[in-house]
Amino acid sequence: MKYEENYQMPFFLATQKGTASLATLVNMLLLGSEHQLDAVDAGIAALGKEGAGWVITQYHLDVTRMPKMEEQVVLGTEAVSYNKLMTYRDYWLRTPAGDELARMSGAWVMMDLATRKIIPIKPNFAEKVGAVADSHVRRFPRIGKLSAVDAAADYRVRYFDIDGNGHVNNVHYFEWMEDVLGGAWLANHELATMDIKYAREVAAGTTPSSQVQIAGLTTHHRIVTGDTLNAEATLTWRQH
């Protein structure tokens, strides 16, 4: 079941370049899916009544170009399929004329909010948005491992970083990953692709570290809290 809605990127979400950051782009893509889920009573509130929540495990993103400040765009999404433990969703961002700006795919699981453990997908919630039962496991690109750390920074988890599921909103990981690259890098590069795999939740009151290794136009990232790996990602860039 495909869903689309019109959206205008507000000026207060723009970077110094006048375009979206990676975190803002992902938030825009997720906005459409949240609206679709709420429309069919399958969103955060509905699932929360059953003591469960949606948790992302992996994303792959391709970016043609970032949306600009005040630009009119169309947010699109489709819940494609689900199996016992995962459901897969596609996202896209396009101009009203049909030019695609970005496309993303994601793998989601359900979590018991009390035990914080993964539970089987509730078929009635997946089927509300037209996802088809399919035992096929979608494969995502392999995440590159860091063999060295070229830059690192610590980030204190704030009250406003915690979402309704009680953990750090996954989009904040992108802010930490881009920020550690520094202003000079970000000013001279545009994002082309992003792959991220989430491992462990970042808890309130902790201070995770964002670490990066730069290999040409590819950057390898990881978020760690002490000895615990929270997430790892590979980003590729275009120089301008």
pLDDT at 213 (0 to 100): 98
Q: Are 67 and 25 in contact (CB under 8 A)?
A: yes
pLDDT at 165 (0 to 100): 63
Q: Are 169 and 176 in contact (CB under 8 A)?
A: no
pLDDT at 44 (0 to 100): 84
Residues of the chain with CATH 3.10.129.10: 1-140, 142-240
- Stretch 160-182: mean pLDDT: 88
pLDDT tens-digit series, residues 109-128: 999 989 989 999 999 998 88
pLDDT tens-digit series, residues 202-234: 988 899 999 999 999 999 999 999 999 999 999
Q: Which residues contact 90 (CB under 8 A, 6 or more apart)?
A: 77, 78, 80, 103, 104, 105, 106
**Check: CATH 3.40.1280.10 for 142-240?**
no
pLDDT at 2 (0 to 100): 93
Return the CATH number of 1-140, one of 3.10.129.10, 3.20.20.70, 3.40.1350.10, 3.40.50.970.
3.10.129.10
Q: What is the DSSP letter of 58?
A: E
**Does the pLDDT value for residue 167 go beyond 80?**
no
**Does the pLDDT value for residue 166 go beyond 80?**
no
pLDDT tens-digit series, residues 133-165: 999 899 999 998 999 999 999 999 999 998 866
Tokens encoding 150: 């070229």
Range 132-144 burial, b when 16+ CB lie within 10 A, else e: eeeeeeeebeebb
pLDDT tens-digit series, residues 40-80: 998 888 888 999 988 899 999 999 999 999 999 999 999 99
Nearest to 232 by CA among 191, 223, 108, 140: 223
pLDDT classification of 88: cutoffs 50, 70, 90: very high
Tokens encoding 32: 């459409």
**Strand segments (E) across the chain:** 2-8, 52-63, 72-82, 87-94, 100-112, 118-119, 132-133, 151-154, 189-198, 209-215, 218-225, 228-239
pTM of the model: 0.94
